[in-house]
Amino acid sequence: MTLQKKALGAASALALIMAAGAAWADDQPAAAPAAPAAAAAPPASWASTIKWSGHVEFGLTSNPDSPSNGLNYGQLFTDRANQFLLNSVALNVERDVDTSSKTLDVGFKVQAAYGSDSRYTQLIGEFNRSINSRNQFDIVEAHVDAHAPWLTAGGMELHAGILPTLEGVEVMDPTGNFFYSKSYLFNFGIPLKYTGVMTETHVSPLLDVYAGLDSGVNTFLGTGGGGNDGKVHFHGGFGLNFKNVTVLATTQIGAEDYAYDASGKVTGTNKMRYLNDAVITWKVNDKLTSTTDVNYIYDDLLKASGGGVTEYLTYPISSTVTLGGRAEIWRDDKNFYTAGFPGKFDFINFEGGYGPSSPVFLSASNATFFEFTVGINYKPAGLPKMIDGLTFRPELRYDELLTHGFAYDNGTKSHQTTIAFDIVAPFTL
């Protein structure tokens, strides 16, 4: 058989197969038409995206020295030795903004809290001394937020109201912290919050720029608040976003010191205070995270400087247990920033210049403090969604005054050991 005949035979066979297949297909019922695609769900309403949540935090800090003044010196939010504290009962209502939205998106957050922490988180001029108790009331945050797709491809966020500081690693809300106790740097080196406006511009995936104006460190508006100096203060900085490393460098600049006029009324001064902070977060690997906080502050009135470095390491060893460590050096060259406050109104009276206050300062100057804390976070698994996130936080802390003098055990010792434990119970409604 020639090649031509083979080709003709193969073609004929293929044609017969195709014809048979077509005939079989003609005998079959027609396929049902495809079902129309389901209609897209309507977008959620603005009100339906509002969230209600909160937390309860309580704990105890054991001090074997049992200081006669009852103070764990160097600590504010855990300052009461061998006393149970109801640190915070808080309720939040908020709507997060969509930072990827291509149109203007508006949200807000309000957090109200009652507890012993509110002694230190109140703004000057807001609810001060309204309750005659160690447990006070505070509006921790209250601000309107917006994402605007303006200026850059990433857009910007705008915030106005009572806002938490950009500075530092630790925060006022205990659900955002690893440890129960706070660092010297958090207690004495940064603002906690302010009243004002803040913008965050996403210049590029690498760079964010922050710029805002406010009434001053921890101050509200008007008489008794930021109106003491009648000046606008600046808060801002920049953030860098690398693959495994982020950097946030910020500053707060303004006239923070108060004075008294001839009638004894609290007034402001023209002397500036500079509070500078940089946080470097490094995701070393899938488990180990290193966070470094570097701080420097200076006050023009008293020519007083302070600052330090705090290092944090966290490492999860299971799905429910995470280990953590914190080491810190804190310097206060004139003992202007570091103090203890034994009375329930001592801190706000001293900070706002309101009247009688009995803060505990070191008699010696040029103080350098060391602090080392280790602890664990235990979050039980399988909890109901409403209380998912319940956390038990035991810790062991050692403090030491590295320079001359005595800071601890009511000014009789140069070191202090505390054993603390708290429970943080977040909830959703």
Q: Which long-range contacts (CB under 8 A, 24 or more apart) does 403-407 make?
A: 403/364, 403/366, 403/367, 403/368, 404/364, 404/366, 405/362, 405/363, 405/364, 405/367, 407/73, 407/74, 407/362, 407/367, 407/369
Residues β-bridged to residue 281: 246, 291
Extended beta strands in 317-366, E state: 321-332
CB atoms within 10 A of CB 156: 19
User: DSSP 3-state assignment of 215?
Assistant: coil
- Given a contact cutoff of 8 angstroms between Cβ atoms, the answer to whether 138 and 127 are in contact is yes
Q: Which CATH superfamily is domain 50-428 in?
A: Porin (2.40.160.10)
Helical residues (DSSP H) of 28-105, grouped into ranges: none
Domain boundaries, the chain: 50-428
pLDDT, residue 356, reads 72
Extended beta strands in 255-303, E state: 258-260, 266-268, 273-283, 289-299
The amino acid sitting at 34 is: A
pLDDT string in tens for the chain (429-residue length):
443 443 334 334 334 333 433 443 444 455 556 666 666 667 788 899 999 999 999 999 999 999 999 999 999 999 999 999 999 999 999 999 999 999 999 999 999 999 999 999 999 989 999 999 999 999 999 999 999 999 999 999 999 999 999 999 999 999 999 999 999 999 999 999 999 999 999 999 999 999 999 999 999 986 555 545 678 899 999 999 999 999 999 999 999 988 777 777 777 788 999 999 999 999 999 999 999 999 999 999 999 999 999 999 999 999 999 999 999 999 999 999 999 999 999 999 999 888 778 888 886 678 999 999 999 999 999 999 999 999 999 999 999 999 988 999 999 999 999 999 999 999 999
Residues β-bridged to residue 295: 277, 308
pLDDT, residue 263, reads 77
Supply the pTM of this predicted model: 0.88
pLDDT, residue 1, reads 44
- Given a contact cutoff of 8 angstroms between Cβ atoms, the answer to whether 325 and 373 are in contact is yes
CA distance 333 to 342: 23
